[in-house]
Amino acid sequence: MSKRRPATPKCCSDLTAAINPRFFKALCDPTRVAILVRLATCGRPCTVSEVANGCPIDVSVVSRHLAQLRDAGMAAGERRGKEVYYAVRFSAIASTLRHLADAIDACCPPTWSKPKRN
Amino acid sequence: MSKRRPATPKCCSDLTAAINPRFFKALCDPTRVAILVRLATCGRPCTVSEVANGCPIDVSVVSRHLAQLRDAGMAAGERRGKEVYYAVRFSAIASTLRHLADAIDACCPPTWSKPKRN
DNA sequence: CTATCATTTGCACAAGGACGCAAATGAGCA
DNA sequence: TGCTCATTTGCGTCCTTGTGCAAATGATAG
């Protein structure tokens, strides 16, 4: 008599809300990921020039990538004088990922129902 | 006398390894995400036609998206007769996300060092 | 104010990805 | 074997996005 599972479990609407396109789009491009890792590896906030230094791509492109990471909530930019220091928002990224992981778990039925043959 | 943090913390190489481009590329496209959510909402393995039914896009496109989700490790496809049943790999997705979240945390220094002025 | 440096933005071009249609493949059935 | 249905794949097109160069903006020093 106890209902097993609603036809459309409410968890999945949460799932849609948990998937922020801008967030994952930011992780699509290998160059952008490399920039993010480089920023994380640095261990402290870095300027655009510092990040671009040694990279084969133009500074303007690095600036755009950093802005995109900022808009995605994965980095924070702070201007100090002429320079802008970017830092990885570690906890924000981790919490976003864990939030989605929880939403996924909530969507997963404990026992996977056998598909009915039609 | 105790060292605070190595110049290049080993955690960040883990970070690079934890970010699978194919995984996040799969979540870039809104249509693909919608298909994933639809598959999750269904609550059971669905055929390509079932997923495509009611969608404004062509079946072939849905098939391609599902294949991409499969290659990304987010879905599993199993052929039964003429049809192929796709299912969301909930635990695989969740564990991938949590693994990355852990790698991010490991990369984050407890006390964020003040940026040195150059 | 002018000069200089760091960063951002406008613009044009190239590369990559999504899409639809048609053809090919896989699998069951008469 | 021939037919039908479900899925996949090839191909051309369109749209998005990454990229470099040049110009504009922001900010400090002289």
pLDDT in tens, B26-59: 998 999 999 999 999 999 999 999 999 999 999 9
Residue B65's pLDDT band, with cuts at 50, 70 and 90, is very high
CB-based contact (8 Å) between B85 and chain A?
A: yes
Question: Does residue B16 lie within any of the structural domains?
Answer: yes
pLDDT in tens, A19-58: 888 899 999 899 999 999 999 999 999 999 999 998 999 9
Among A23, A89, A98, pick the best mutation site for testing chain B contact (most B Cβ within 10 A).
A98
Q: State how far the Cα of B113 lies from the Cα of A64, in Å rounded to an integer.
A: 25
Question: Does residue A52 lie within any of the structural domains?
Answer: yes
CB count in 10 Å sphere of residue A93 = 26
Q: What's the Cα-to-Cα distance from B89 to each of A18, A104, B35, B53, B65, rounded to whole Å?
A: 17, 10, 14, 21, 15
pLDDT in tens, A62-82: 999 999 999 999 999 999 999
Question: Does residue B113 lie within any of the structural domains?
Answer: no
CATH number at residue B36: 1.10.10.10
Question: Does residue B5 lie within any of the structural domains?
Answer: no
Whole domain around residue A73: which residue ranges? 11-107
Question: Does residue B116 lie within any of the structural domains?
Answer: no
Question: Does residue A86 lie within any of the structural domains?
Answer: yes
Question: Does residue A113 lie within any of the structural domains?
Answer: no
Structural domain count of chain A: 1
Question: Does residue A4 lie within any of the structural domains?
Answer: no
- Flag if B28 and A28 touch (Cβ within 8 Å): yes
Residue B113 is given by DSSP the state P
Average pLDDT, chain B: 85
CB-based contact (8 Å) between B4 and chain A?
A: no
The encoded tokens of residue B94 equal 């969740």
Does any strand D atom come closer than 7 Å to the Cβ of A61?
A: yes
